[in-house]
């Protein structure tokens, strides 16, 4: 019998991020506490979002609204990597980058967790920015998915290609 397998990936649904960003733009435009603060949020390249405001608190408030919208759209906050607001001229700029893909360090960490704590007979192979997990028994794969969901890793994981 052939092995069953699934892939562990870390991908971002760009359409959902874009929808969350557009909802944030609308809310910032309508809310009274943002009037006259120059607060705004927009894409800055492919993987970055830039927030502008006339004070550090307003920039962080826009980030909070964006995070709220991200959560409502079913995305994990682990895809966001935000820095601190920096003063540039008269306004504060805050750059939020999107994290996608599993780097080598995280892949090795996940593979070690599967080896040490998962059922015996599970194989985990690193394939670029994803991990292929295979086993002879589908129940063991379900156990591995539950194990990884229970771990607090600093990247968002999805489980795809289950067969």
In b/e form, how buried is each residue of 46-66, taking b as 16+ CB within 10 angstroms? Answer: eeebebbbeeeebbbbbbebb
Compute CA distances 128 → 79, 105, 125, whole Å. Answer: 19, 12, 10
**Residue 163: what pLDDT?**
84
**Residue 156: both structure tokens together:** 């968002």
> What digits encode the pLDDT tens for the residues 80-123?
999 899 998 899 999 999 999 999 999 999 999 999 998 888 99
Measured in residues, the chain has a length of 163
Mean pLDDT score, 44-48: 91
- Helix, coil or strand: residue 55: coil
Mean pLDDT score, 66-82: 94
**Residue 161: what pLDDT?**
87
| pLDDT tier, 154 (very low <50, low <70, confident <90, very high otherwise) | confident
**Residue 48: both structure tokens together:** 């970055």
**Residue 162: what pLDDT?**
84
**Residue 2: what pLDDT?**
66
**Residue 85: both structure tokens together:** 């607001």
Rounded to two decimals, the pTM is 0.86
Residue 12: Cβ within 10 Å count: 18
Average pLDDT of the residues of the chain: 92
Is 36 a residue whose pLDDT tops 60? Answer: yes
Residues 92/100, Cβ–Cβ less than 8 Å:
no
**Residue 1: what pLDDT?**
53
């Amino acid at each position: 019998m052939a092995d069953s397998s699934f892939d562990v990936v870390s991908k971002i649904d760009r359409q959902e991020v874009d929808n969350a960003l557009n909802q944030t733009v609308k809310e910032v435009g309508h809310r009274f506490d943002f009037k006259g603060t120059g607060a705004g949020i927009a894409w800055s390249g492919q993987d970055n979002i830039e927030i502008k405001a006339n004070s550090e608190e307003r920039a962080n408030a826009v980030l909070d609204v964006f995070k709220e919208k991200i959560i409502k759209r079913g995305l994990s906050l682990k895809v966001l990597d935000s820095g601190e607001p920096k003063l540039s001229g008269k306004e504060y700029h805050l750059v939020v980058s999107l994290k996608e893909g599993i780097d080598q360090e995280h892949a090795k960490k996940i593979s070690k967790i599967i080896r040490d704590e998962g059922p015996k007979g599970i194989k985990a192979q690193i394939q670029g920015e994803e991990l292929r997990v295979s086993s002879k028994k589908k129940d063991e794969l379900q156990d591995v998915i539950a194990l990884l969901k229970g771990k607090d890793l600093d990247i968002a994981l999805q489980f795809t290609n289950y067969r």
